[in-house]
Chain A
């Protein structure tokens, strides 16, 4: 009965406080549940994207004499699959070729046999460089070793059989050579096997004719593999997917009973994705955890605004004989009501947020539901903790002490005496310095090892900076207010006139409350600022990465024979095209290494594509291109090439380029003028950039295999128009920036922060508004008695406003300035720590000025509303106000 009575009274007379705390709980629950749901959705996306580019899921190595039909049947029983190809591997003792009167001979190598449809089934294994895929293919490195080109004969030194000659049809690149030539069945953890330098790929029928005899004579030198692409009906969770794939592999191996061993590329990738998914969760949690913590702090601050009144109520109850247990039951009732209302509201908001982000409703068996339940529990715990813990502590004090009001001369809290703020800042500095001295190697991904690792401890740096910075702000503000009474009077005078002394005295004595408000606003603004700046910088760099990959807003790519450069005027005239620039894409031998060569017009290439200073070793794109323009035979090389060949600027570099006149490679001299790190459309490994005019002159063809288009509007629309123009040209592709951006997939940089950005930045605005408005309003509401007394003493509205505006402006302006400074610092630290995530690294932070302006405006509006509400309440009939208190 007493409980119901108490609850009725609370709802009737303290509804503002209840609603305020419930709002704080709701925001906490909504933010935590939304982030969790996004993490769950992202994990599912991470799995699919990570395994999308696995070239061959399984490479099943069959033992010599294995029953191929039985193995194929067993495969179908063990797992559904989408593609299956038989690949032959034959060891050869060497390859040789005679070109230009000289004989080149290589060491041991491999001859592979591929079905005619292999490239269609597993397109990622082969990339045509020159020639035709119809016939014998020679790997790029092998072609360089033998100095052969399409049409040249190559002699294969077979094991136990006579040499045999074949004719090269094309030169190809094997991007996945590491996995294609992996040693299947070696113990886990063994060092990866380097792929052979000398490789020929023959049509499977020809391969059988040439190597079946070798297989009979020397069975150990010839192997057969089944290359399989599984049906990707895998669980969304990477860990469950890995287990499923492992089980299928073991099931298959059991069925074939020792006739073969599975080289599980898919499982290895999933193993790596597990770590990546964890990285993504940690990143999301890190970016989101301060927000959740902030929401919890705000909810606690909202609950604390009623502490004085609650303390008096408890004191009165104890004076009248209520036991501690009875008081705690009443407080628990309030906490439960607030918690349940807050949790329900928070869950509703998170569901709506999820639907808005396209995540959908959490199903009964979905991981999102777990996050929702966790968030609900956290919300209840917060509501109970914020209310019951202070009540329990107060129950041990004198009742009479609780009944009296107190502004108080408080001692320094424990954390200040322990210098916790400085400890956290030093911890942040140490963690950051450790990462800096390791070259910000946050992620370790050794070459040839599918798995990567993340130095999770590095996140301590920004977290400690945020917390330590907040606590230091408390210390400095408190000290500043304590010693800066004169400054307060000076600041208050324009607002308060003759009352400046009284206003500043009030602020001075309530500096704990004021400091708390300043720091809450600062933490909210810093969270929003750091999140916005980091996300904007990340998205900007993701775009730069896409620009590097795609080359321009729209890129038209084709072979030399049907080069898109021939339609340059038509492409340039398309609606929406601002600029169009041709670019050659040839191949040149640098020594024995075949590299991509890009021929450009250095004076005009920048019209169609963005060239960052970071692309060039001297850090100056304009100067580098100017130097190239001034040197007709100039060439830019990679740092690795310059180092390998001990080149200095000004040195002559002889490259071999294929001439259009006779299809032969001829030596062409270039002059080395600088190092290039990145270039639009260029691969990650070594490449060359030269003047298109010189290259055209030396190769007897001006063909431009690439056309770069800069657009004014939607690149996808321009790409569609370009496709219509080049549709008649064989082998020509049109790609746009948006499609490329979406398609960019990297085990670590494939994290899509777009949804998280929208989520966090929307909540950040709510949190800033709550810190600047809700907490302020409730705090002012608790001092309504003061304003009523002032009005009773004869204070006019303007004079009342001086007290209210003085505190509000000090809290909001002070908090915003501190928050912006702290936020930028944290963002800079995040960008440095996560340098490896950016490709290329950003040159500077990208500041979302519009968002920051909107953020501060939202806080200002919330503050103004709080002040207006407080002044309106102060203008209530005085007797009513005094009576209520």
Chain B
């Protein structure tokens, strides 16, 4: 994974799994020598030095590393939220960067990310509506996503009326409701107690397994990383190694 070669082109989509012309399953994301440098005045910050990786459908990947090692930056780049300053990244099975969200990629932020003016259910159905969905069916899907995470009773609450943990679970429900093919989560259990975190992870992994959604989680929590199939270790802005669990 750390030293992947070139990838064949000419991908076609078959069902929920894209295959290329050779019949191999197309990767969701492929990145070569990915780098991101921020310029703040005269200060140059190397948030990500180099990362070469691939995410396939159904992958469960934990990205671990010390603070400042580039975990969040890597997730931003994989999700198309940011553009690399070096290297390349493509989404063979998902299409160009502009169409990734909300159709194919969902993101769970580290900080609270609910829209304060919308209720819980309205926040959850928002990505579905942004994808030009039907209001009635998308409302049902949103409520179902809330039910799966035991949040149905909070549907009409406003974000300011939720605890931090509840808000994070709602954000996760929002990500799951859109049935993404790639879910990127940045410290999703950071504000949860162990029991709730474990419960949420159970629901999450079960949902993703059904849909062959790939999950990439940036985490400090060993309990989370131990449940992933693969661990990417970040060190000083570089994806140092990829280890199967």
Contact = CB atoms under 8 A, between A and B. Distances in A.
B135 A501 contact: yes
A407 B131 contact: no
Interface residues of A, number: 28
A510 B118 CA distance: 10
Interface in B69-83: 76, 81-83
Contacts of B195: none
Interface string B200-224: 0000000000000000000000000
Interface in A463-516: 497-499, 501-502, 505-506, 509-510
A794 B82 contact: no
A408 interface: yes
Contacts of B159: 405, 407
B2 interface: no
Interface string A311-353: 0000000000000000000000000000000000000000000
Given A509-B118, A794-B127, A794-B131, A789 B113 contact: yes
A793 B130 contact: yes
B150 interface: no
B117 A792 contact: no
B129 A505 contact: no
Contact of B82 (A505, A790, A879): A879
A14 interface: no
Instruction: Give the one of A505, A509, A792, A796 with max B CB within 10 A.
Output: A792
Interface residues of B, number: 35
A795 B160 contact: no
A786 B135 contact: no
A446 to B, nearest CB: 63
A404 interface: yes
Contact of A510 (B105, B111, B117, B160): B117
B113 A878 contact: no
Contact of B109 (A501, A799, A882): A882
Contacts of B83: 877
A409 B81 CA distance: 33
A509 B117 contact: yes
B113 A407 contact: no
B160 A404 contact: yes
B130 A406 contact: no
Contact of B129 (A407, A408, A499): A499
Contact of B117 (A786, A794, A796, A877): A786
Nearest to A408: B160
Contacts of A502: 118, 122, 125-126, 129
B12 interface: no
Contacts of B127: 793-794
Nearest to B158: A407
Contact of A794 (B102, B114, B116, B158): B102
Given A404-B160, A506-B115, A786-B117, A793 B101 contact: yes
Given A498-B133, A794-B102, A799-B130, A409 B158 contact: yes
B191 interface: no
A792 B101 contact: yes
A786 B116 contact: yes
Interface string A742-769: 0000000000000000000000000000
Given A498-B134, A510-B117, A786-B116, A406 B82 contact: no
A505 B156 CA distance: 12
Contact of B116 (A405, A498, A795): A405
Given A793-B130, A794-B102, A506 B118 contact: yes
Interface in A229-285: none
A794 B100 contact: yes
Contacts of A510: 117
Contacts of A877: 82-83
B103 interface: yes
Interface in B18-61: none
Contacts of A405: 112, 116, 159-160
A878 B82 contact: yes
A200 B1 CA distance: 124
Instruction: Give the one of B100, B115, B131, B159 with max A CB within 10 A.
Output: B115
A407 B158 CA distance: 8
A790 B101 contact: no
Contact of A498 (B118, B122, B132, B174): B132
B230 interface: no
A499 B158 contact: no
B119 A498 contact: no
Nearest to A508: B117
Contacts of A786: 115-117
Given A499-B129, A502-B129, A878-B82, A792 B113 contact: yes
Contact of B130 (A407, A499, A501): A499
Contact of A505 (B81, B118, B134): B118
Interface string A604-634: 0000000000000000000000000000000
B232 interface: no
Given A407-B158, A408-B160, A793-B102, A501 B117 contact: no
Contacts of A404: 160
Interface in B102-153: 102-103, 105, 107, 109, 111-119, 122, 125-127, 129-135
A877 B81 CA distance: 8
Contacts of A497: 132
A879 B81 CA distance: 7
Given A789-B115, A878-B82, A406 B160 contact: yes
Nearest to A497: B132
Contacts of A799: 130
A794 B112 CA distance: 17
A510 B119 CA distance: 12
Interface string A788-825: 01101111100100000000000000000000000000
A505 B160 contact: no
B117 A407 contact: yes
A794 B130 contact: yes
B129 A498 contact: yes
A505 B117 contact: yes
A799 B117 CA distance: 16
A406 B101 CA distance: 27
A409 B161 CA distance: 10
A327 B49 CA distance: 41
A406 B135 CA distance: 26
A370 B169 CA distance: 62
Contacts of B109: 792, 882
B173 to A, nearest CB: 13
Contacts of A499: 129-130
B167 to A, nearest CB: 10
Nearest to B101: A794
Contacts of B125: 502
Interface in B85-111: 100-103, 105, 107, 109, 111
Contacts of B112: 405
Interface string B4-25: 0000000000000000000000
Contacts of A793: 101-102, 107, 126-127, 130, 174
B133 A792 contact: no
A502 B122 CA distance: 7
Contact of A790 (B76, B115, B160): B115
Given A498-B134, A793-B127, 15 more contacts: A497-B132, A498-B132, A501-B122, A501-B129, A502-B125, A505-B118, A509-B118, A786-B116, A789-B113, A792-B81, A792-B107, A793-B101, A793-B107, A794-B103, A882-B109
13 contacts: A405-B116, A405-B159, A499-B129, A502-B129, A505-B122, A506-B115, A506-B117, A786-B117, A792-B109, A793-B102, A793-B127, A796-B130, A882-B111
Interface of B: 76, 81-83, 100-103, 105, 107, 109, 111-119, 122, 125-127, 129-135, 158-160, 174
Interface of A: 404-409, 497-499, 501-502, 505-506, 509-510, 786, 789-790, 792-796, 799, 877-879, 882
3 closest A-B pairs by beta carbon, nearest first, are A794-B101, A794-B102, A506-B117
